[in-house]
Amino acid sequence: MSELLKNHLGGRWTAGTGAGTALVDPVLGTELVRVDATGLDLRGGFAHARETGGAALRAMTYRERAAMLAAAAKVLQSKRDDYYAIATANSGTVKNDSAVDIDGGLYTLSTYARLGDSLGDRRVLLDGEAVRLGKEPLFQSQHLLVPTRGLALLINAFNFPSWGLWEKAAPALLSGVPVVVKPATATAWLTQRMVQDVVDAGVLPSGALSVVCGSSAGLMDALEPLDVVSFTGSADTAALIRSDAAVAQRSVRVNIEADSINSALLLPGEAPGSEAFELLVKEVAREMTQKSGQKCTAIRRVFVPEALYGSASEAIASRLARTTVGNPRNESVRMGALVSRAQLNAVREGLAQLRAQGETLHDGASHALVDADAAVACCVGPTLLGARNAAGSDASDRLHDTEVFGPVATLLPYRDTRHALQLIARGHGSLVASVYGSDAKALADAALGLAPLHGRVHVVSPDVATLHTGHGNVMPQSLHGGPGRAGGGEELGGLRALNFYHRRVAIQASTASLAHLA
């Protein structure tokens, strides 16, 4: 039987008392490790995080906590090779895709270390200027941001076990709030190992960082009113969290990032083969295949002028056809596996729903697997579907409603820009949309039209062809989140991320007293 990974709770490493759930190599089908959270003292562990970890963190200044993050990043950087090996085995990702998760997480952690250092030797943050409450400036109101006295429970998705950890934990720890992370079971190994390496290095106070692997049962029950929850995952699970007594009755603050039908839009006026056209084609193919399409920000719908539908279909399909799929250990492979058999089945079911309303423009079944047994490996080739005309884009409701969390996208023709924006709006709110064109004013107008529907709008023109950071790449300097179906939450965005982990309070006092607050 494989190793049972330990949880870290209450300042110590503890194994669950059950047999555990096996984590499996999605290419080879072999058991790797097991995780289990049975029998953990969640209430006691959470109390230790709040009382011991929280007190130690709040005693530090922002600059001191930033140095703590920098030290953690240094520890993780020294063990990158171990993390890549785990990602290959547990997530089935090729090296470049593992880098998006692992190096992306380290970059985000290091970014918040730099941002925190800029806040200096303070323990609270001023929120705006003091405002007088009468004719004379002797009695005023000053808003402050103070770290919450609770803990941050981070419930993460399976697709980013590294980045998903650090993009939440870095701003929480910088804010002075202890973290308990619950990674998705299927890929929990990388998260657990990173937490273990940082905890064992002693760069954080006891109770500042905890990890619970396995079942999430009881986690929400152990929360108290000043705690916060940040969740990434399905809309169904998000609904359960929102309706939980911790949120509905004890007013635990919650941030949700859920399903998202993200879009890419090629503006009118571009010819087949133009630079903007080629930029769209390249980005769509990359977003479909990176991490086997298992990204919450991946492009799911591609909108092009009706006259360009055939050209776009051929160009994207041609790129996809060159993608080698199979065992990520083989250097010729460019796209690895889905993370599990359950995920493979979900992708196949979703594809069947989409195919009922769309034509197949490139069939993933045409890709022979490299160095992998199709009966065992959770691999599937990239599939591009489409609606033949603009009327089909209007009529095909499943193409706007169904997210297949894998290497699948749909090409949709539109009549004019107004029609394209109407079709994109049928996604009911998304994390990101990207816009491609060469007319600066048309790009700006489209970005403003998309802004109310998205957390981020990524504008790509020929002058930034080699500079833009990518449709699906979440940079810590920019907002990550989105309205409506995307969950209504906000993460990252530089120092804006700290807002979630602070409480805003108005201090009404004399001008002399207010002068001492910061």
Burial of 120 (0-12, 13-18, 19+ CB in 10 A): exposed
Burial of 248 (0-12, 13-18, 19+ CB in 10 A): exposed
For 314, residues 6+ apart whose C-beta sits below 8 A from its C-beta are: none
Tell how strand 262-266 and strand 430-436 pair up: parallel
Give CA–CA dist 159/98, Å, rounded: 10
Name the active-site residue from 167, 283, 296, 306.
Answer: 296
Provide φ and ψ at 169, rounded to 5°.
Answer: -70, -35
For 352, residues 6+ apart whose C-beta sits below 8 A from its C-beta are: none
**Sign of dihedral through CA atoms 242, 248, 250, 254?**
positive
| Cβ 102 vs Cβ 80: under 8 Å | yes
Provide φ and ψ at 398, rounded to 5°.
Answer: -65, -30
Q: Write out the two tokens for 377.
A: 């490996």
Q: Write out the two tokens for 134.
A: 């009468």
Is residue 257 annotated as part of the catalytic site, yes or no? yes
Q: Can you name the residues that pair with 12 across neighbouring β-strands?
A: 9
Find, among 68, 62, 80, 147, the residue nearest to 110 by Cα. Answer: 68
Give CA–CA dist 163/472, Å, rounded: 13
**In whole angstroms, how far apart are CA 419 and each of 384, 441, 457?**
22, 18, 18
Q: Write out the two tokens for 334.
A: 């460019």
Is 99 strand, coil or helix? helix
Q: What are the helix and strand counts (H, E) for the chain?
A: 17, 24
Is 350 strand, coil or helix? helix
Find, among 354, 358, 426, 350, the residue nearest to 392 by Cα. Answer: 358
DSSP code, position 202: T
Name the active-site residue from 167, 257, 287, 403.
Answer: 257
**Catalytic residue positions, numbered:** 257, 296
